[in-house]
A and B are shown apart, each in its own frame.
Chain A
Amino acid sequence: MNVRELLTEMKDTSEVIVDLAYASLMYNSDSMAEKVHDLEDDMDNLKFAIRYKVLMSCRTKEDARQLSGLLQVASAADRISDAAADIVDLLDVPLEKRPFVPAMLYESDEKIRATKIKSDSGMVGYTIGELAVEACTGCKIIALKGRQGGIYDPEDDVKIRAGDDIIVRGTEEGYNHLTEYASGKIPWDFPEESDEEPEEAEDEAENLEDDIGDDDE
């Protein structure tokens, strides 16, 4: 992986690891906590890999100045994953001593919720990517349970099966919508193929970024 890919991976991990950490406390899940620790180990390896690549690529003083910022971001992503690992270590505290934690987390702005895929759900047999679950419901699937050991932070090519318990992160309203799909109450609404010219979109994006960038002050 190059530096860009390493940093993308670190950013992605820093986000999903926090969701998984809170979800493990909500559902009292040791296997999810284990995944958090695995991701934290991955993050350590990514951190060393990115440091090495960045230091190798430094040629000038200006390189060093700019890349020091990049390394600070990488190290921040790593610190987030360390915090997530500390959060799941709370599972070692006996359950009766932390009854308020799941109830409190249930009220978060970003909801973590679970639902079951019924056999007559329109989602069965399709992959997460084909369904574009997050774009269609605002809910991101962070785990699928009920399979051997469960699948955490699933890739887009994971197929939804009847009987899966899915754990998602999103809004309450999006979750309510998703449960209707998952239960088979309403059929899945497949997104239309976008026929937009990608090049045009790119241009627009650049104009807009001038709006948000600091240069217009």
Chain B
Amino acid sequence: MNRLEVMLLELKDTSEFMVDLAYSSLLYNNKEIAEEVIFLSDTLDDLSTKIQDTAIELGQSKSDEVAKIAVVIRLQTSIMYIAEAAKSIADVVLRGLGEHPVLAMSIKESETTIALGKVSDDSVLVGKTFGDVSLSTISGMFVIAIKRDRTYIFGPGRGTVIQAGDVMIAKGPEEGVAYFKDLCDGTEKEL
């Protein structure tokens, strides 16, 4: 991939992550998660400008690339619509309008639900990385954020080590929730 494609892909991945975080912030009426959505939205504004500048430079030097540039700009625009929609969901929470019970219920009942797992001292997950345990492959639950002490880790990577006391926020199917929670609280020992 060239630089332009790498930036566009990052824009896309971040926009989807923002939507996940935005719905989580709504479910838990959580302003810290909502703030992260706003922060990511600002970084995407900067990234969009860079993508446009790079595309224009490319068009000036290689005129046969103009068709590709048009595709890049159209994708960038659509992706930013998605990012802005995520931002407006987070905005509901930040305005203090996130407490209506129907909001949380509608997310809990959806096909892709969001659940919390608190990692206990005797959980098999303790001391392992996400790469080690492949939580999402075995439970269907994909961890989007971790609350550790008073701070959050957003979008943990394969190398992130799971610690006792972590509260993990994961999205996935309803059928995966019980196993995920059991793994976290130490009831289930088998990975």
The docked-state distance in angstroms from the alpha carbon of A105 to that of B79 is 13
Shortest Cβ distance from B79 into A: residue: A83
Secondary structure type dominating chain A contacts: helix
Indicate which residue in A93, A191, A208 contacts B118 across the interface (CB closer than 8 Å). Answer: A208
Q: Is the CB of A110 within 8 A of B95?
A: no
**B112 A76 Cβ-Cβ under 8 A:** no
- Residues A1-37 near B (CB distance < 8 A): 3-5, 7-8, 11-12, 14-16, 18, 22
Check if B140 sits within 8 Å of A213, measured CB to CB: no
A18 touching B82 by the CB < 8 A rule? yes
The residue of chain A having its C-beta at the shortest distance from the C-beta of B108 within the complex is: A8
B9 within 8 A of A: yes
Tell whether, in the assembled complex, residue A70 and residue B82 are in contact, meaning their CB atoms are under 8 Å apart: no
Partner of A69, one of B75, B77, B103, B140: B103
Q: What residues of chain B lie closer than 8 Å to A7, measured between beta carbons? A: 102-103, 106
Question: Which residues in chain B, 37-86, are within 8 Å of chain A measured between CB atoms?
Answer: 67-68, 70-71, 74-75, 77-79, 81-82, 84-86
B129 on the interface (CB 8 Å rule)?
no
Q: B5 touching A212 by the CB < 8 A rule? A: no
Contact call B68/A76, Cβ cutoff below 8 A:
no
Q: Decide: A135 near B140, CB < 8 A? Known: A83-B85, A90-B74, A90-B75.
A: yes
Q: How far does the alpha carbon of A90 sit from the alpha carbon of B116 in the complex, in Å?
A: 38
The answer to whether A212 touches B74, judged by C-beta atoms less than 8 angstroms apart, is: no
Which of chain B's residues have a CB closer than 8 A to the CB of A67? 100
Other than A80-B81, A213-B29, A214-B31, give 8 A-B pairs with Cβ distance below 8 A.
A134-B172, A134-B175, A134-B176, A140-B173, A171-B137, A174-B136, A208-B117, A209-B116
CB-CB nearest 6 A-B residue pairs: A69-B97, A7-B106, A83-B81, A135-B176, A135-B140, A135-B175
